[in-house]
Structure 1
Amino acid sequence: MAQLLDQLNSGYLRNETEETLPAASVPTTPTRSEDRPRNSTNSRQPSGLKEEYIQEVNILLLGETGVGKSTFINAFVNYLTYEELKDAECEELTWLIPAKFSIADDDYENTCTVEIGNSDNECQQAGASATQMCKSYVFHVDDVKVRLIDTPGIGDTRGIEQDDVNFENILRYLGEFEELHAICLLLKPNNARLTILFQYCVKHLLSRLQKSASKNIIFLFTNSRSTFYRPGDTFIPLKKILEDIKMNPPFVEIPCNKNNIFCIDNEGFRFLAALKYNLSFTKEEKGDFEKSWKKSSQECWRLLKYIVGTDFNGLIPHRIQDTVSINEARRLIIRLSQPVAEIAQLIQTNLIVLQRHKDYLEANANNLNELQGKLYIPVINVRAHKMDQPRTTCMSRECCDVYEVGGVKHNHYRTLCHNPCYLRNVPAEIVGSPELIHCTAMGGTQNCQVCGCQYLTHLHIYYITETYEDKIVDVNIDSQISKDKIEVGTVEAKIKEIKDRSKEYKTEEETIIKTIAKFAHFLQNNAITPYNDAYKQYMEYLIDKEKSLGDECNKDMLKRFEQMLLNYHEEKAILDKAFEMAKDGSVEKVRTVTAADVFESVTKLYSLKYTGAKIKELYDKQESARSHELRFEEEYVHRKTSRKNRWLRLIFGFGRNG
């Protein structure tokens, strides 16, 4: 190992024989707490062999529009695959992101467009961020999975509003990961616009990922051949900005030295792509690109070495879910809004059915014939059917079927207007979300081209619920009835059971209303994007839906929905008033809702006697569908690498016997 370190420090690299690695057959989702590799932890294990605990590396790429993030991704995988340009020339071009650029021929008479692939995620409009949404690009360095997370560029010409949208999408996407190994800020070596853009980027990032993320920040300078593979004029304002961040809120010290600064040039990849188009270059030009390739390859390996380390000195992964408790609480609340609202509706249905059944038993307490098969407790339940991809569906009266369960009418989504819908970053289960205007079903208008209704009646769904009727039967009572003999008090006991169950349902309903009011208060006071009260919207939708039935309206159900909405407003108003009084100093101390309170409340929801397990089931179905959806936002490349490559041996411990 010492000999390898000496060779690396001297810049000596040897081209080794390459072998084709087994290709992964199925892309996997971002690591989450439930499927995290067994040894992927913060602890450093004592053997010193990285393969025992390094199984994947997640690298977030951030930078202003036009800095070359997408090109770097293509270059990075090639620089790691081939140490020298001549090796890459002999193989097929490896790329992860479609690329397109123009170059003049050697006579300067004609222009050739070099184009690699095509993607809907790239925008060719000048000045606009080329990458339209977050997307992961995954490849393997031997047995280690490297995930580069591409993001929309900061400083989009479409305005600061688009920057805000882009950054919120980045943060939402990161919420699906558990660990982030490095945050790579891409910069041009000579950039006069660095100040505003860099501060915007870093401060927004640290405000959501907390101070610990600063230790994982690295700086990558693209197009650095013109500055002798050094930071250039950018370095002075960069250091000044970092000093300002250190001296002012959030008072974060971000390392910035040779260890975490990397200088490469993307031109080697572009040159290789041009060669594949049979463009000719002079010997001198090719010599320059060969030197650029080799230098950039060394820097890419040094970058990977800095992140992973050689023995115990790599970066400790930034645990997103542990440190971003507020962000996680917000994500949890938003995703629970629909399951909780559906269960609240289910409770109302059960209360109506129980009341009707109790009235029937009381009216026929002495009529054995009428009681035959009726001494049970009716239960209305739901079962959820998961979908792999979200669907755009319409909830208008014209597009829903009405069916009856337990004497109560329910709506069923009949019209699936876009199945599946690949539109990203649409809030789930929110009726009339503005993002739905961009759904293919709308055809660029505000009206659905499939059902004809406005987008305001549509929503994205991740699962479909089916309501069904069940019953709790006492075998002893059935035995009495079959013998035409009912013991004294049997009917009264069953009526009491129904009353007790109704009382317990109402207690659970009260708990749910208090909880969602607490959630709404938390969101309202921790919102980065405009606050969207999903529960209120859903209850108002149910009320309008019931009213639209006219004479067929279930007045009892309508009254219950309206009372639930009123109770919700009252609970939330109490919390909001207390919060405002605390801010104004009207009261000495008021404890506001924290992220810890949210997590505790969710645990209590899941433990509810009758509805807790069902809330969790609906939430889990939605989470499973979202995890599957993320697979469509990752691109995999199966590439060649060398098990005997000295960088692999040094960083990961592979190829020891090769």
Structure 2
Amino acid sequence: MKSKTAKGKKSLASSSRPSPSKSAQSKSGSGKSTTINSVPTMMKYPKFKDAVENLDNLINLIPCKFVLSDEDEKQMTIHSSGLDASADGNERMENYKSSTIDPRSYLFKHGNTEIRLIDTPGIVDTEGMDEDKKNLDKVLRYLPMIEEVQGIIILINTMDNKLDVTFKYCITELLTQLHRDACKNIVFCFTFSRNSHYKPGDAFYMLKQFLSDELKVNLKLKSKVNCFFIDNEAYRFLLAKKCNYSFPPEEVSDYKNSWKRSVEQTNLMLNVIAGLDAHDLDKTISLNNSRDFIYQMAEPIVDLNALLEANIAHIENQERELQDVTKNKLELARNLNIVVDDIDTENLPYPTTVCISEKCMDYVVDEKGQKLEHFKTRCHENCQLKVDTNVTGHHLLANCWAMDNTGNCAQCECPFQMHRHITFVTKIVKKTVINQNQQLKVDSEKDAIEAIKKTIKQTKQIKNEMEEEIEIIQKISAKFAYILLEHSNTPYNKFLEPYLQFLIREERKKIGGKKGYSTAKLETLEKMLKSHQAQVSILVEAIKSKSREDVDIKETRVFQRQLFSLKHSGPTFQKLFKDKDFEKITAESWPYLDISVDI
């Protein structure tokens, strides 16, 4: 694997063969971090006896904590620090919370091959849907640091036996992010496999049916080819024994067998991955840049379509009025201002923290029904935190001056998750398209009639231009959709909407009629559902066009420039996307470099 390292750092790929990179992804709670911990120890001590005799030399990459009970129900907390001291802050140690916070990579040797193993946050995070989106964004920000990946390991608890909306959402969300070409590099590692005797269990057959019957992706499951079965209980046994926890002698043989079977499966999995052709990550990065661009465009496209159509209707009404012979033509000619709606942007001189909860935000609605967000509660002007703009609930906003020590805003009393940074606000303004009073002096009815005819001609031209722009926007949307159809496993996660609806129902049950219960999470989920529906609407309509042009996946920048150059809506697109960043995050900006592991 070719590695991009920060300035001043030597490349960590030092073996004669390029070091394959393996990315581990899973649903939260599948034992991903524990699996990553156990792999290098298994490589160092393939025999269980040697591992037991070298408890002080166990390799623990990631901090872990778990609780064991004895026969008298007395609990003992087993805690082990990670190899990298800074990693402690990258793991949540609380019970019932997802562990990994940011992607990290670990470098070690397996035989003559150097392996870079990347630990990533899980999917279906215990902190909620918004955290899932942030976790995936972190992974995508990490990818530009490497150029190719040998294997993508998806971990699944072999005991999962419910094909519910959560499972469907999780698997689909992972596959949605990957380029179709990456399917050949995906392997599934089923954890807790002692329960299925290290063979395919409930989760295997459930996943197999889901991939073939519902998702219909080119991903065939086969044991020892792209499916492997391990159990981490023996590794936990070693950590517990190191902390002087006593096990009955009759249980040790079970752990010994578990270690032996897991070592065999892990070696087989790593050897299979080492023989795969690497996936070019530029394909996956470009695909996700395209998807991000499409999703960023979704709401502006919907708004501008409605705006153009409203303006066309407005012009047609004024055209009919001009043609009405019952009107005084001379008086009409003196008032030939054609007014249309436009979106204007007011730049703020500094970043400002605002609240987007229902009580703190209004929608400005003009006479044509167009809606724009109006942030009536500005909680902290001139906020100096380095936070991405227009990102709701950024974790750094908890440190904003406006927030108290409970994470709630002292200004509006809403949680920090309902806040964002803005650097500009938008508003609808009236725009004069034609002002004949500045050009003509109408002194007679004849002059008035000529002026009216000229105005009607110009209004028709404006209407035609706006109609052409709508058609161009729709064609560009179709090109975006074609990119996703051609290069992704699935253009969008069709299980996200039912998953959001499920979460909304659950949150409403929690709220019930309780007084004082915060509705912030419910409001966030409802906003996410609305945004997702707008994005899907754009894609579905574009797909219906059945456009099959030969579109390069890296052409999204060209499409962006085309939208910016539109006569009427181009300036609006430029304003709306002024602060949006579609560039890759560079390796130099990523704080977590490779951590070398000696085996």
TM-score if structure 2 supplies the norm length?
0.52
Aligned residues of 2:147 and 2:281 also touching (Cα < 8 A): yes
1:97 corresponds to? 62
Aligned residues of 2:106 and 2:594 also touching (Cα < 8 A): yes
- Given candidates 591, 596, 599, the residue that maps to 1:631 is 591
Aligned residue type for 1:98 = P
Verify: 1:276 aligned to 2:239, yes or no: no
- Given candidates 51, 73, 77, the residue that maps to 2:36 is 73
Deviation at 1:147, TM superposition (A): 2.9
Deviation at 1:446, TM superposition (A): 4.6
Residue deviations 1:301-332 (CA, integer Å, cap 9, x gap): 11110000xxxxx1112212135533235679
Q: Note the 1:550-569 alignment, pairs <5 A.
A: none
1:597 corresponds to? 555
Verify: 1:178 aligned to 2:141, yes or no: no
Residue deviations 1:96-155 (CA, integer Å, cap 9, x gap): 1111111134x5363211111273333355544333x34123121167443333333333
1:206 corresponds to? 175
Deviation at 1:219, TM superposition (A): 1.7
Aligned residues of 1:60 and 1:149 also touching (Cα < 8 A): yes
Q: Note the 1:170-569 alignment, pairs <5 A.
A: 170-174=139-143, 176-194=145-163, 196-245=165-214, 250-308=216-274, 314-323=275-284, 325-329=286-290, 395=351, 417=384, 428=388, 430=389, 434-435=393-394, 438-442=397-401, 443=403, 444-446=407-409
Of 255-264 and 193-202, deviating more is: 193-202
Aligned residues of 2:351 and 2:383 also touching (Cα < 8 A): no
Over aligned residues, Cα RMSD in angstroms?
5.2
Q: Matches of 1:176 and 1:235 in 2, distance apart?
A: 33
Change (3 A) 1:523 1:193: same
Change (3 A) 1:185 1:196: farther
2:379 corresponds to? none
Aligned residues of 2:144 and 2:586 also touching (Cα < 8 A): no
Deviation at 1:244, TM superposition (A): 1.0
SS at 1:119's partner residue? helix
2:121 corresponds to? 152
Change (3 A) 1:109 1:624: closer
2:48 corresponds to? 85
1:138 corresponds to? 106
Q: Matches of 2:240 and 2:547 in 1, distance apart?
A: 68
Deviation at 1:271, TM superposition (A): 0.8
SS at 2:46's partner residue? coil
Aligned residues of 2:37 and 2:62 also touching (Cα < 8 A): yes
SS at 1:229's partner residue? coil
Change (3 A) 1:31 1:601: farther
Residue deviations 1:620-656 (CA, integer Å, cap 9, x gap): x998984223233x5624222xxxxxxxxxxxxxxxx
Aligned residues of 1:102 and 1:113 also touching (Cα < 8 A): yes
Residue deviations 1:404-430 (CA, integer Å, cap 9, x gap): xxxxxxxxxxx8945xx6xxxx5x4x3
Aligned residue type for 1:229 = Y
Aligned residue type for 1:85 = F
Aligned residues of 1:431 and 1:456 also touching (Cα < 8 A): yes
Structure 2, unaligned runs of 5 or more: 82-86, 297-348, 353-381, 412-417, 424-468, 482-490, 494-537, 563-578
The count of corresponding residues between Structure 1 and Structure 2 is 388
Change (3 A) 1:225 1:257: closer
Q: Matches of 2:77 and 2:164 in 1, distance apart?
A: 34
Deviation at 1:214, TM superposition (A): 1.8
Verify: 1:114 aligned to 2:72, yes or no: no
Residue deviations 1:50-106 (CA, integer Å, cap 9, x gap): 9544223222322x222111111111121122112332232423111111111134x
Aligned residues of 1:177 and 1:321 also touching (Cα < 8 A): no
Aligned residues of 2:20 and 2:116 also touching (Cα < 8 A): yes
2:450 corresponds to? none
Residue deviations 1:501-552 (CA, integer Å, cap 9, x gap): xxxxxxxxxxxxx9xx99x9779966979xxxxxxxxxxxxxxxxxxxxxxx
Q: Matches of 1:66 and 1:432 in 2, distance apart?
A: 27
Deviation at 1:210, TM superposition (A): 3.0
Structure 1, unaligned runs of 5 or more: 1-27, 41-49, 309-313, 336-392, 397-414, 449-453, 460-513, 530-578, 605-618, 641-658
Aligned residues of 1:214 and 1:254 also touching (Cα < 8 A): no
Q: Matches of 1:158 and 1:631 in 2, distance apart?
A: 23
Q: Matches of 1:286 and 1:144 in 2, distance apart?
A: 32
2:20 corresponds to? 56
SS at 1:141's partner residue? strand
Q: Matches of 1:457 and 1:201 in 2, distance apart?
A: 29
Q: Matches of 1:601 and 1:119 in 2, distance apart?
A: 44
Q: Matches of 2:410 and 2:115 in 1, distance apart?
A: 42
Aligned residues of 1:181 and 1:316 also touching (Cα < 8 A): yes
Change (3 A) 1:233 1:436: closer
Aligned residues of 1:195 and 1:241 also touching (Cα < 8 A): no
SS at 2:57's partner residue? coil
Change (3 A) 1:255 1:628: same
Percent identical pairs in the alignment equals 28
Aligned residues of 2:159 and 2:203 also touching (Cα < 8 A): yes
Change (3 A) 1:235 1:144: closer
SS at 1:299's partner residue? helix
Change (3 A) 1:127 1:274: closer
Deviation at 1:36, TM superposition (A): 12
Aligned residue type for 2:72 = Y
TM-score if structure 1 supplies the norm length?
0.48
SS at 1:209's partner residue? coil
Aligned residue type for 1:211 = R
Q: Matches of 1:164 and 1:274 in 2, distance apart?
A: 35
Change (3 A) 1:215 1:594: closer
Q: Matches of 2:50 and 2:239 in 1, distance apart?
A: 14
